[in-house]
Amino acid sequence: MCCAGFVSAGIGVAAYELRALRTVELQSVDARFSIRGPLPPPKSVVLVGVDNWTFKALGYAAVQAAWPFPYRHWARVIRRVAAGHPKAIAVNYSFMKSTDPADDRALIRSIAKAGHVVLAVGDANFPFFGGPSALREIGAVQGYSNLLPLADSDGVVRQVPHSVDGMTEFGIVAASVADGRPVDWPGGGAQWIDFAGPPGTVPEYSRWP
């Protein structure tokens, strides 16, 4: 019993020390970003965000009443973004199920016409589109987007894996599509995210109108 108590205490101390070391490491990473300061806004990336103006323009008084948006609205956004001939359109929203048939068709047509579209998925099942092979038929690909379980204890995601459950991470897929080749990965598991700066560093436009 005494030995078991010593073992238990040893494990507890080791776990505490590991957490303490991890906290120091994260503080060091944040400090280095603070010293470096923000980088110039990237010229090759813009965000189209679902902001407060979007909800007001669509006549929704509350987010809960607006979500999920009818797929025809997403189709319109994809068409408008595609008109600028970007190298990739990364849609960080999971279209998990069919809605109105007309809206479904509008979304699929917009993706097929745009080309270079990356769609976010949170697991291996993508029932609305029928999986990766069906996506390829309309010229789209999927990327894993659910990184919240990988967040640090303070809720910040500081590292990104190359893949999860066999699916390549969403941002990596988007960069690969934009570059026209797979992103070079140094290996060794997850890599630190090289944040350009705080929110607002990347130019952002309202999703609507």
**If pLDDT is split at 50, 70 and 90, which confidence band does 20 have?**
low
Give the list of residues 6+ apart from residue 12 with CB closer than 8 angstroms, or none.
none
In this structure, CATH architecture of domain 40-206 = 3-Layer(aba) Sandwich (3.40)
Please give the DSSP secondary-structure letter assigned to residue 148.
G
Domain boundaries, the chain: 1-37, 40-206
Q: Which of 137, 117, 123, 122 is nearest to 75 (CA)?
A: 117
Measure the N-to-C terminal CA separation of the chain; round to a whole number of Å.
69
> Tokens at residue 76, please?
């319109």
Find, among 121, 125, 129, 124, the residue nearest to 71 by Cα.
129
| Phi and psi based region of residue 25 (left: phi greater than 0; alpha: psi -120 to 50; beta: remaining) | alpha
27 vs 150: CA distance, rounded Å: 17
For the stretch 68-103, pLDDT in tens is 778 888 999 999 999 999 999 999 988 877 788 899
Residue percentage of the chain with pLDDT more than 90: 24
Rounded CA-CA distance 18/16 in Å is: 5
- Once rounded to an integer, what is the mean pLDDT over residues 45-52? 84
pLDDT at 13: 47
pLDDT digit string (tens) for 169-205?
999 999 999 999 998 888 778 888 888 888 888 888 8
